[in-house]
């Protein structure tokens, strides 16, 4: 049934998926993905190095499983991944070869990244055999149900033109977003990839993930604090990065409400240190990672990230391209709602939620990193890019869906009240910003209002207050620098001990 079946199957909902390995594990996986569209992955065919395999049976006769193809084609060998992916518009590559040598795994993963496809893989084959549905090993949670929409494939193969052969620096590389960004950047073939973080343990783990070994004996790992301007300037002079992805930040909203000086030092001063160093050496592209809380901010987190955006946007006349992205809440990132929710459910509850009606925009790590890479490709200078994340999700609804999926009894939900700096509902754009279309149908952009960049001139006053650890002076200056920002506690604010997180 071959390619005709694949074309018909492509009309099914889900990301176009290429299964690497046409053996028992691969065929079982493709079968389960076809039967279970909630996984959000739609297989179009296989790769396998066995020249005798032309197609693989993935379903019974049509009268047993109506609407599903009986077979899917083997589209080539493992070394043909790039060409096949481009020809068939592949968005996800799944590795389903038990015992694939680590060097072959890394080669497949790098080739997938080079065409803008994300990589997922099965655990050991023995573990898979013990499951009724092999596909459940791919995704223990139906993310589409949690976020209330289909997961998007954002990054395109054209990103390679921005990264291939260039020296790339990723700050905050050891974090959940930074580490995934490093893995995908590496697949696009940079001449050098520098991974900067102030936590040496995170860097060790990251190098192990990316290279399969962590000898810590070259200059790709950089221990540095972005708040240390002389160190940052020295690194940029020595490493001469051409592309910078800036993910390093303090991001936990409740902590930053209590420690605003630290938020200024990292999120604002740290960003300015990087931007100045980038300007000095002529960086080609600089992409800041920000948050939806920067739109009409009411929190220290949002205010400091908005100032970081303005620092980047103030350099539209620079020879290089300076732009940013705003994330919603990233499911699966370290310290995010999902990780805390899992811990609370595992402990038998109660689950803490700030308010019965609170909503947030959600995105997956793959979508977040895809947005960063696409922004790096599309940016002309000064834009802030935002992913169309559909309708905001009510946290209470997400809790109920999560509990259902992990087959746990319904847990008690305890409402703690909105805390200082928290909104009931987030917005992706401020009231003064215009949402502009881009060449990507699900990515929008905004440029700074003409009168918004004046705040950058007064930043030395803010830095002085932060250096003196004067929390009250910092709050007052944030209010003066960002009209509309108010640092007063939210109505019904609860104690900071409540574990419910609110970050990006």
- Catalytic residue numbers? 293
Cβ-Cβ contacts under 8 Å for 18 (sequence gap 6 or more): 43, 44, 45, 46, 47, 75, 81, 84, 85, 88, 90, 92, 93, 94, 117
Count the neighbouring beta carbons within 10 Å of the beta carbon of residue 210: 22
Residues 318 and 487: their CA atoms lie apart, in Å, by: 33
On whether the CB atoms of residues 408 and 481 are closer than 8 A, the answer is: no
Alpha carbon separation from 218 to 64, 192, 194, 214, 231 (Å, rounded): 57, 11, 10, 10, 18
On whether the CB atoms of residues 24 and 31 are closer than 8 A, the answer is: no
- The strand pair at 55-57 and 71-76 is best described as antiparallel
Instruction: Tell me phi and psi for residue 414, to 5 degrees.
Output: -110, 125
Residues 473 and 101: their CA atoms lie apart, in Å, by: 57
Q: Give the relative orientation of helices 337-346 and 395-405 as an angle to the nearest 10 degrees.
A: 50
Structure tokens at 159: 């990103």
On whether the CB atoms of residues 81 and 20 are closer than 8 A, the answer is: yes
Helix or strand holding residue 200 (H, E):
helix 200-211
Alpha carbon separation from 168 to 108, 178, 288, 350 (Å, rounded): 21, 13, 14, 44
Structure tokens at 259: 């420690």
CA 118 distance to own-chain centroid = 12
End-to-end Cα spacing for the chain? 45
Look up residue 451 and give its DSSP letter. G
Q: Where are the beta strands (DSSP E) in 141-258?
A: 167-171, 192-197, 221-223, 243-246
State the Rg of the chain over Cα: 23
Structure tokens at 113: 């990244």
Instruction: Tell me phi and psi for residue 197, to 5 degrees.
Output: -160, 155
DSSP code string of 413-432: EEE--PPTT--SS--SS-TT
């Amino acid at each position: 049934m071959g390619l005709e079946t694949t074309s018909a199957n492509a009309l099914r909902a889900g990301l176009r998926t290429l299964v690497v390995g046409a053996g028992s594990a691969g065929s079982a996986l493709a079968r389960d993905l076809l039967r279970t569209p909630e996984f959000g992955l739609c297989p179009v065919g296989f790769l396998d190095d066995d020249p005798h395999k032309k197609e693989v049976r993935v379903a019974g006769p049509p009268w047993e499983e109506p609407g599903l193809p009986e077979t899917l084609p083997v589209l080539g060998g493992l070394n043909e991944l790039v060409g096949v992916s481009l020809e068939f518009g592949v968005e996800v590559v799944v590795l389903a070869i038990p015992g694939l040598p680590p060097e072959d795994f890394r080669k497949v993963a790098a080739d997938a990244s080079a065409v803008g496809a994300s990589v997922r893989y099965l655990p050991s084959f023995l573990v898979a055999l013990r499951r009724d549905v092999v596909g459940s090993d791919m995704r223990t949670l139906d993310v589409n149900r949690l976020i209330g929409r289909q997961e998007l494939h954002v990054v395109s193969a054209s990103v390679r033109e921005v990264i291939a052969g260039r020296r790339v620096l990723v700050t905050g590389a050891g974090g959940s977003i930074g580490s995934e960004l490093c893995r995908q950047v590496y697949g696009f073939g940079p001449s050098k990839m520098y991974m900067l973080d102030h936590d040496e343990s995170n860097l060790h783990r990251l190098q192990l993930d990316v290279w399969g070994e962590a000898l810590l004996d070259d200059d790709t790992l950089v221990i540095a604090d972005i708040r240390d301007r002389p160190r940052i300037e020295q690194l940029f002079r020595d490493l001469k990065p051409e592309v910078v992805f800036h993910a390093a930040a303090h991001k936990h909203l409740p902590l930053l409400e209590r420690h605003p000086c630290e938020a200024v030092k990292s999120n604002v001063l740290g960003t300015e240190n990087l931007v100045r160093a980038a300007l000095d050496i002529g960086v080609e592209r600089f992409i800041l990672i920000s948050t939806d809380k920067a739109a009409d901010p009411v929190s220290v987190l949002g205010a400091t990230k908005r100032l970081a955006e303005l620092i980047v946007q103030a350099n539209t006349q620079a020879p290089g391209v300076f732009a940013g992205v705003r994330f919603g809440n990233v499911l699966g990132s370290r310290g995010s709602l999902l990780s805390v929710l899992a811990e609370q459910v595992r402990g038998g509850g109660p689950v803490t939620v700030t308010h019965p009606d609170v909503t947030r925009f959600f995105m997956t790590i793959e979508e977040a990193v895809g947005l960063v890479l696409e922004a790096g490709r599309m940016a002309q200078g000064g834009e802030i890019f935002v992913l169309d994340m559909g309708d905001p999700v009510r946290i209470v609804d997400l809790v109920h869906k999560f509990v259902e999926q992990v087959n746990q009894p319904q847990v008690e939900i305890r409402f703690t009240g909105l805390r200082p700096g928290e909104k009931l509902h987030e917005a992706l754009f401020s009231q003064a910003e215009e949402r502009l279309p881009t060449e990507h149908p699900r990515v929008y952009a905004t440029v700074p209002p003409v009168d918004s960049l004046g705040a950058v001139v007064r930043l030395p006053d803010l830095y002085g207050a932060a250096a003196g650890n004067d929390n009250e002076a910092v709050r007052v200056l944030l209010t003066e620098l960002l009209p509309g920002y108010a640092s007063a506690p939210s109505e019904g604010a609860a104690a900071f001990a409540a574990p419910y997180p609110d970050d990006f």
